[in-house]
Amino acid sequence: MRVLITGATGFLGKYIIEEFSKHNCEVVAFGRNADIGKSLQNCVFVQGDFTVFHDMESAIKEVDIVIHAGALSTIWGKWTDFEKTNVKGTENVAKACLKHDVKRLIFISSPSVYTTAQDKFDIDEGCFVPNNELNCYIKSKIMAEKVILDYSQQGLYTVVLRPRGLFGIGDTSIIPRLIGANSKIGVPLINDGKNIVDITYVPNVAHAVYLAATAENISGEVFNITNGEPTEFKTILENLFNKIGIKPKYVRLSFTAAYRIAAVLEALYRTFNVKGEPPLTKYTACTLGASQTLNIARAREKLSYEPMYSIWEGIDAYAKWWKENH
């Protein structure tokens, strides 16, 4: 099987390449960063931008499966940037797939679409608010999923995955943010970190992508993907910092206080057009302070998905890498 991966030079993309190459697939890695692209192994790198339809169409010919993992994935930014990349870019990918008879399109979405200021447990795939506009990223992912659904109804074989809280070697988001906050004023510890969260070691996500590419009778389906190990946030954080050798430093807040501070900061940054990201956003307050666990029964039943590695194995591997490289 010949597989094209958008966002192949990103964090998840590299693991997807490795997973499919283990199964003797021919992998086409598609991305903008030529320097990183040249360093990728077990694939053919094609430089391009999926927000440009001609680039996408040129790369997609004679491909069996497309994995659309490319996205603008950040918690703060201009709506026009998210719309261009995550909404219109996704439409380019789906349009090219339909035009060139690609057998299957797998779209990597996000369970951020479930995020609100309330605790939520055992969330199934239908439990998101369609007009959730907590941030531009969430809004764009909801709209991108609608694009995928529209093309599915036109006859394109589509599968949507919502992997939660990806971490692992190469992570540029979750763990580096926590370490960075700890080295400055401290990690916001909301309601003493007792909120229950789901995170996912990235090789498990790559495994789920391969299963989504090969399972039968799943067109039009959406799947939650996690490690299936809901755990208190503070327990995960202290285990990680202990393994790395960092003493945790906290800024203790109630959820109400954290959310209000975040709302004020966001308003100030928007009003005065401040560059960069606010030190605390409403989305961050929700993810650090509210419980969110996902139901992965559908993935277990229809994809035969089971995590290959536990959270603690993933943390051990990350800590070993961190100490060797820092």
How confident is the prediction along the chain (326 residues), in pLDDT tens digits per residue?
999 999 999 999 999 999 999 999 999 999 999 999 999 999 999 999 999 999 999 999 899 999 999 999 999 999 999 999 999 999 999 999 999 999 999 999 999 999 999 999 999 999 988 999 999 999 999 999 999 999 999 999 999 999 999 999 999 889 999 999 999 999 999 999 999 999 999 999 999 999 999 999 999 999 999 999 999 999 999 999 999 999 999 999 999 999 999 999 999 999 999 999 999 999 999 999 999 999 999 999 999 999 999 999 999 999 999 999 98
Burial class (CB in 10 A: 0-12, 13-18, 19+), 120: middle
pLDDT value for 191? 93
Tokens 């989305």 belong to 283
At 188, give phi and psi (nearest 5°): -60, 120
What is the spatial distance between Cα 168 and Cα 11, in angstroms, rounded to a whole number?
9
What is the spatial distance between Cα 307 and Cα 300, in angstroms, rounded to a whole number?
10
pLDDT value for 61? 87
What is the spatial distance between Cα 55 and Cα 237, in angstroms, rounded to a whole number?
41
Strands (DSSP E) contained in 221-277 are 221-225, 231-232, 250-253
Do 280 and 261 meet the contact criterion of CB atoms below 8 Å apart? yes
What is the spatial distance between Cα 116 and Cα 286, in angstroms, rounded to a whole number?
7
- Identify the CA nearest to 100 among candidates 58, 144, 151, 148: 58
**At how many degrees (to 10) do helices 202-214 and 11-22 cross?**
50
What is the spatial distance between Cα 8 and Cα 102, in angstroms, rounded to a whole number?
18
Burial class (CB in 10 A: 0-12, 13-18, 19+), 276: exposed
pLDDT value for 128? 87
Read off the tokens for 25.
């697939």
Do 311 and 231 meet the contact criterion of CB atoms below 8 Å apart? yes
Percentages helix, strand, coil for the chain (3-state, rounded to 5) are 45, 20, 35
- Identify the CA nearest to 292 among candidates 112, 108, 171, 126: 112
Number of neighbouring beta carbons within 10 Å of residue 85: 20
What is the spatial distance between Cα 114 and Cα 111, in angstroms, rounded to a whole number?
6
pLDDT value for 187? 95
At 103, give phi and psi (nearest 5°): -70, -30
- Identify the CA nearest to 30 among candidates 57, 51, 9: 9
Q: Domains for the chain: give ranges and CATH numbers.
A: 2-169+199-226+294-304 (3.40.50.720)
Which residues, 6 or more positions from 272, have their beta carbon under 8 angstroms from its beta carbon? none
The residue length of the chain stands at 326
pLDDT value for 80? 98
Read off the tokens for 229.
């190990």
**At how many degrees (to 10) do helices 174-183 and 233-244 cross?**
80
pLDDT value for 222? 98
- Identify the CA nearest to 85 among candidates 4, 147, 27: 147
Do 78 and 135 meet the contact criterion of CB atoms below 8 Å apart? no
pTM of the shown model:
0.97
